[in-house]
Amino acid sequence: MNKQLAMVIDSSLCIDCKACTLACKIENNVPDGYWRNWVKRSEPDFTNPEWMNHRTPLHFQPGGCMHCEAPTCVQACPTGATYKDDAKDGAIKVDPKLCIGCGSCIPACPYGARYKHPTKNIVDKCDYCEKRRERGELPACVITCPTKARVFGDINDPNSDAALLLKKNQSIRITNKESDTKPNMYYLSATAPLNWPVKAKMPDAIQLWKLVGPLIWGVVGLNALGVLVMLGKQLLITDKEPDTDISRKETRRS
């Protein structure tokens, strides 16, 4: 079975220290004003009397690119610069040499996990710290987390920490009802907030392309067919031009 890297998160362990977001920013040189990962928080519910009984009404939820199984970002990319690397590790990656920064994938992500890098001019996002992994190290956010809320590994390997944690516990995936991208980020149940992913939006230009694409291929095909018909006619039927003078005489009308 192919490798499928995933993150299994016990958000109840998260204390909102945001060490993961800083570690990521430093490791990956993420520019000012942009983030590759995040910690979201639930809205405290003060109408619930429980909050007075020393129980925190807040829940923190670490996240990042969910490296989805059915990635809408990949569907939005015209060139395959954004792709799911199934041959290697199942992660969603950006080929920095092929990406021209058209940004089609950015609104196509329901999680807001992508941004256009202001100096590299290509789209940037979490790659599970590929360079660290090549050295045999864990992603920066995972290794930094003091409470070990983020657990990372190949969920298709039954002995990995992530697979074991997933097997032992009930888990959920956070999705938008209208665009379920089958994220590879699993939260051990009772996480919050849940309603924040937005509907994936294909850019208008890409939508138009998907619509008129077959039409353009059709026009090219029809012309090719026309050429073949003319060629066939030329090869099969002898068609000599009548002497113009005679044809003129014949059609001369009074």
Partner 1 sequence: MTQTLIHRHTRLSIFMHWFNAGCWIFLLLTGLGLIRNDDLQPFPFWPTMLRTVFGGGGNLLLAHELIGITWAGGFLLYGIIRLKSDVFPFIRDIFTVDIRRDFLWLITKGIQMTLGYKLLGVVAEKFDFNPKIPDQGFYNIGQKIFAIPAVFGGMVIAASGIVMILSQTGNADTEWVQWAIVIHFITVGLVFAGLLIHVFMASIAAGEKPAFISMFTGTVPEDYARHHHKLWLDEFKKS
Q: Which is nearer to partner 1, 95 or 161 (CB)?
A: 95
Q: Which is nearer to partner 1, 77 or 138 (CB)?
A: 77
For the CB of residue 102, give the shortest distance to partner 1 in the complex, in Å.
Answer: 4
Q: Which is nearer to partner 1, 172 or 230 (CB)?
A: 230
Phi, psi of 185 (to 5 degrees): -125, 115
For the CB of residue 135, give the shortest distance to partner 1 in the complex, in Å.
Answer: 23
Rg, C-alpha atoms of the chain: 28
Q: Which is nearer to partner 1, 6 or 74 (CB)?
A: 74
Q: Which is nearer to partner 1, 172 or 212 (CB)?
A: 212
Q: Which is nearer to partner 1, 44 or 226 (CB)?
A: 226
Residue type, 74: V
Alpha-carbon distances, residue 186 vs 19, 51, 77, 120 (angstroms): 20, 27, 25, 31
Q: What is the dihedral of CA 213, 217, 222, 224, to 10 degrees?
A: 160
Q: Which one, of 134, 122, 173, lies nearest residue 11 by Cα?
A: 173
For the CB of residue 132, give the shortest distance to partner 1 in the complex, in Å.
Answer: 23
Contact 126, 132 (CB under 8 A): no
- Applying CB under 8 A, the residues found at the interface with partner 1 are 75, 77-81, 95-98, 100-104, 106, 116, 118-119, 121-122, 203-206, 208-210, 212-213, 216-217, 219-220, 222-224, 226-227, 229-231, 233-234, 237, 239-242, 244, 247-248, 250-251, 253
For the CB of residue 196, give the shortest distance to partner 1 in the complex, in Å.
Answer: 23
CB 212: neighbour CB atoms within 10 A?
Answer: 12
Does the CA dihedral 66-67-70-74 come out positive or negative?
Answer: positive
For the CB of residue 92, give the shortest distance to partner 1 in the complex, in Å.
Answer: 15
Give DSSP secondary structure letters for 168-189. HS-EE---BTTB----SEEEES
For the CB of residue 101, give the shortest distance to partner 1 in the complex, in Å.
Answer: 5
